[in-house]
Amino acid sequence: GGSQERDLTRSRDIAALGCVCLTFDMRGHAKTSGRHDTVTREHNLKDALAAYDLLAKHPAVDNTAIAIVGSSYGGYLAAILTSLRQVRWLA
Protein backbone atom coordinates (compact mmCIF):
# COMPACT_ATOMS: atom_id res chain seq x y z
CA GLY A 1 0.00 0.00 0.00
CA GLY A 2 2.99 2.32 -0.21
CA SER A 3 3.32 5.40 -2.36
CA GLN A 4 6.19 7.07 -4.14
CA GLU A 5 5.39 10.23 -2.19
CA ARG A 6 7.46 9.02 0.76
CA ASP A 7 10.47 8.40 -1.50
CA LEU A 8 10.51 11.63 -3.49
CA THR A 9 12.66 13.67 -1.08
CA ARG A 10 15.32 10.96 -0.89
CA SER A 11 15.22 10.54 -4.68
CA ARG A 12 15.65 14.27 -5.24
CA ASP A 13 18.66 14.27 -2.92
CA ILE A 14 20.21 11.36 -4.83
CA ALA A 15 19.47 13.04 -8.16
CA ALA A 16 21.26 16.17 -6.89
CA LEU A 17 24.40 14.00 -6.67
CA GLY A 18 24.16 13.33 -10.42
CA CYS A 19 22.15 10.10 -10.47
CA VAL A 20 19.06 9.50 -12.58
CA CYS A 21 16.19 8.40 -10.33
CA LEU A 22 12.78 6.97 -11.07
CA THR A 23 10.00 6.46 -8.56
CA PHE A 24 6.64 4.95 -9.41
CA ASP A 25 3.47 3.53 -7.89
CA MET A 26 2.58 -0.06 -8.71
CA ARG A 27 -0.95 -1.11 -9.56
CA GLY A 28 -3.04 -1.45 -6.44
CA HIS A 29 -1.07 1.26 -4.63
CA ALA A 30 -1.55 5.01 -4.10
CA LYS A 31 -4.25 6.33 -6.48
CA THR A 32 -5.24 2.79 -7.52
CA SER A 33 -5.40 1.34 -3.98
CA GLY A 34 -9.08 0.54 -4.54
CA ARG A 35 -7.93 -2.18 -6.94
CA HIS A 36 -5.57 -3.72 -4.37
CA ASP A 37 -7.60 -6.95 -4.09
CA THR A 38 -7.57 -7.59 -7.85
CA VAL A 39 -3.85 -7.01 -8.47
CA THR A 40 -1.49 -9.98 -8.44
CA ARG A 41 2.22 -10.28 -7.69
CA GLU A 42 2.70 -10.89 -11.41
CA HIS A 43 1.03 -7.55 -12.20
CA ASN A 44 3.33 -5.74 -9.77
CA LEU A 45 6.41 -7.54 -11.05
CA LYS A 46 5.48 -6.44 -14.57
CA ASP A 47 5.16 -2.88 -13.25
CA ALA A 48 8.64 -3.09 -11.71
CA LEU A 49 10.09 -4.53 -14.93
CA ALA A 50 8.46 -1.79 -17.00
CA ALA A 51 9.91 0.85 -14.67
CA TYR A 52 13.37 -0.74 -14.91
CA ASP A 53 13.16 -0.90 -18.71
CA LEU A 54 12.07 2.75 -18.91
CA LEU A 55 14.95 3.83 -16.68
CA ALA A 56 17.48 1.68 -18.56
CA LYS A 57 16.52 3.39 -21.85
CA HIS A 58 17.22 6.86 -20.47
CA PRO A 59 20.22 8.31 -22.35
CA ALA A 60 21.91 9.46 -19.13
CA VAL A 61 21.77 6.01 -17.50
CA ASP A 62 24.77 3.70 -17.39
CA ASN A 63 23.15 0.26 -17.83
CA THR A 64 26.01 -1.38 -15.93
CA ALA A 65 25.38 0.75 -12.84
CA ILE A 66 21.68 0.45 -12.03
CA ALA A 67 20.60 0.29 -8.40
CA ILE A 68 17.18 -0.75 -7.16
CA VAL A 69 15.84 0.30 -3.79
CA GLY A 70 12.72 -1.30 -2.37
CA SER A 71 11.21 -1.81 1.03
CA SER A 72 8.79 -4.43 2.28
CA TYR A 73 6.86 -5.81 -0.70
CA GLY A 74 8.86 -3.57 -3.04
CA GLY A 75 12.06 -5.10 -1.71
CA TYR A 76 10.68 -8.57 -2.36
CA LEU A 77 9.84 -7.63 -5.96
CA ALA A 78 13.22 -5.93 -6.39
CA ALA A 79 14.97 -9.14 -5.34
CA ILE A 80 13.00 -11.11 -7.95
CA LEU A 81 13.76 -8.45 -10.56
CA THR A 82 17.51 -9.02 -10.09
CA SER A 83 17.07 -12.48 -11.61
CA LEU A 84 15.42 -10.97 -14.70
CA ARG A 85 17.43 -7.80 -15.31
CA GLN A 86 20.99 -6.58 -14.79
CA VAL A 87 21.21 -4.88 -11.38
CA ARG A 88 24.47 -3.74 -9.81
CA TRP A 89 23.15 -2.72 -6.39
CA LEU A 90 20.08 -3.80 -4.44
CA ALA A 91 18.92 -2.06 -1.29
Mean pLDDT by 10 residues, the chain (91 residues): 71 93 75 63 93 96 94 91 97 91
Using DSSP's 3-state secondary structure scheme, residue 1 falls into coil
Q: Are 39 and 54 in contact (CB under 8 A)?
A: no
Beta strands in 1-91 (DSSP E): 67-68, 89-90
Distance between CA 76 and CA 8 in Å, rounded? 20
Which domains does the chain possess? 4-90 (3.40.50.1820)
At 87 the pLDDT is 97
